[in-house]
Structure 1
Amino acid sequence: MASTTRSAAPTVGFDLDMTLIDSRPGIHACYRALSERTGTFVDADLAITRLGPPLAEELAHWFPAERVAAVADLYRSMYPAVAIAATPALPGAAEAIAAVRAAGGRAIVVTAKYEPNAKLHLEHLGIEPDALIGNLWAEQKAEALREHDAAVYVGDHLGDIRGARAAGAHAVAVATGPYTAGELHAAGADSVLADLTEFPEWLAAYRDEPPSAAARA
């Protein structure tokens, strides 16, 4: 008779910005540097309140459409020198990755961030996922989650919930980004955590529960 518990070691996907790392200080500094470089004002205080979507969507608020692609390239080229050292890991980030590994699973990072810069963040902070896939937003993230057979995806944004659902993965939301726990629940997250410090305990409970009893924590 088949087991009714989730005994298999899961592959767990994690978002990057405001899930594993607090990218606000680095991105704020990079937008200010971009303003100085281009002579075009970017409200960095406002921009860091709406992290998650692709860079081009934010730049479109400040630059004409015909300049967005070139300015995005400039921003990405400036980013390593300005943003990496200024960006800390969020509480519980390393421990969340370790919990997946301790369970015999694989931890992957799937992010909308430009992949080379995402890699620099992880290297700087000593976070070593089994795979990193960048340049994917919202439902696009389902491509990587399905490719890696991820059972769970953890993120802070409504787009992360949409990506998890598109992949048929359990959507775990952390209230460390722009949305409250209540908003994440209302958007359809399967489980909501205050932050990643709660993830190891959640993972242990998730693996022990029958699939039909998935908790909306």
Structure 2
Amino acid sequence: MARMTSAPSTPSASLTALTVGFDLDMTLIDSRPGIKAAYQAFSAETGVAIDADLAVSRLGPPLQHELAHWFPAEEIDERVVQYRALYPTYAITPTLAMPGARDAIQAVREAGGRAIVVTAKNEPHARLHLTHLGIDPDAVIGGLWAEGKAEALREHGAGVYVGDHTGDVRGAARAGAVSVAVATGPCDEAELRAAGADVVLPDLTEFRAWLAGYRAREASYLP
């Protein structure tokens, strides 16, 4: 599905070296309907009452963080495996692409760049979502959250990271990347700006115009 390269890009001042990272949940995809269905099935299977609406209102952090609200610490690892076994059946089909998601990837490509996905979601499920929705990034890196995302962003030479959570803002900052936040997830514009986002967009439908302006400003700095 993803067009993986044999070696990651390295940072460069050249405009042709553009690499943009994207978060997944509530940035590129609206996974709330699917994750809600998965939690409802999980609750029925475990016999533990889980407020699925509350769970999907705070997407972003790793699964372990959410399960800690519903299960004792010693059960978390086991419950992660159990939930993930249910996930493909219930969560993939109901999930939708966020407005502007496909166009944002295309805008990066048209600018001669690479688009990568860096997400806290486990990589196999991230790939299932992207394949189902016909979103085709150049690389998919899963299992990274907040500052931990900087590892993949630096490895792939990403100069921009787009996300919906304050954790994404922190990850971009740690990587030395421009933080583009979209107010489509659990964090509102004020929270994202307070966390240090360089720019906040209402959603990805405005990303293409922002990228064009960003590229023009970068070009003006070249000798």
Q: State how far apart, in whole Å, the 2-side matches of 1:33 and 1:9 are.
A: 44
Q: Does the alignment pair 1:57 with 2:51?
A: no
Report Cα offsets for 1:108-156 as digits up to 9, x if no partner.
Answer: 0000001100000000000000000000000110000000000000000
Q: State how far apart, in whole Å, the 1-side matches of 2:190 and 2:115 are.
A: 27
C-alpha contact (below 8 Å) 1:6/1:208 kept by paired residues = no
- Displacement, 1:183? 1.7
C-alpha contact (below 8 Å) 2:164/2:184 kept by paired residues = yes
Q: Does the alignment pair 1:103 with 2:111?
A: yes
C-alpha contact (below 8 Å) 1:22/1:90 kept by paired residues = yes
- Displacement, 1:23? 0.7
Matched residues, number: 209
Q: State how far apart, in whole Å, the 1-side matches of 2:191 and 2:151 are.
A: 25
SS in 1 for 2:106: helix
The equivalent residue for 2:83 is: 75
- Displacement, 1:212? 10
Structure 1 spans left out of the alignment, 5+ residues: none
Report Cα offsets for 1:18-66 as digits up to 9, x if no partner.
Answer: 0000011011111110000000111101111110000001001100111
SS in 1 for 2:181: strand
- Displacement, 1:8? 3.6
> Moved runs in structure 1, 4+ residues, more than 3 A?
5-9, 210-213
**Pairwise mapping of residues 1-217 of structure 1 onto structure 2 (< 5 A)?**
7-210=15-218
Structure 2 spans left out of the alignment, 5+ residues: 1-12
Identity of matched residues, %:
67
Report Cα offsets for 1:55-106 as digits up to 9, x if no partner.
Answer: 0010011001111111111111110010000000000000000000000000
Q: State how far apart, in whole Å, the 1-side matches of 2:189 and 2:70 are.
A: 30
Q: State how far apart, in whole Å, the 1-side matches of 2:37 and 2:154 are.
A: 35
SS in 2 for 1:12: strand
Structure 1 residues 17 and 146, CA, compared in 2 at 3 Å: closer, same or farther? same
Q: State how far apart, in whole Å, the 2-side matches of 1:177 and 1:64 are.
A: 27
- Displacement, 1:7? 3.4
- Displacement, 1:210? 4.4
Query: What TM-score, normalized by structure 1, do the two folds share?
Result: 0.93
Report Cα offsets for 1:181-216 as digits up to 9, x if no partner.
Answer: 122111100011000000000000001114999xxx
Q: State how far apart, in whole Å, the 2-side matches of 1:9 and 1:201 are.
A: 19
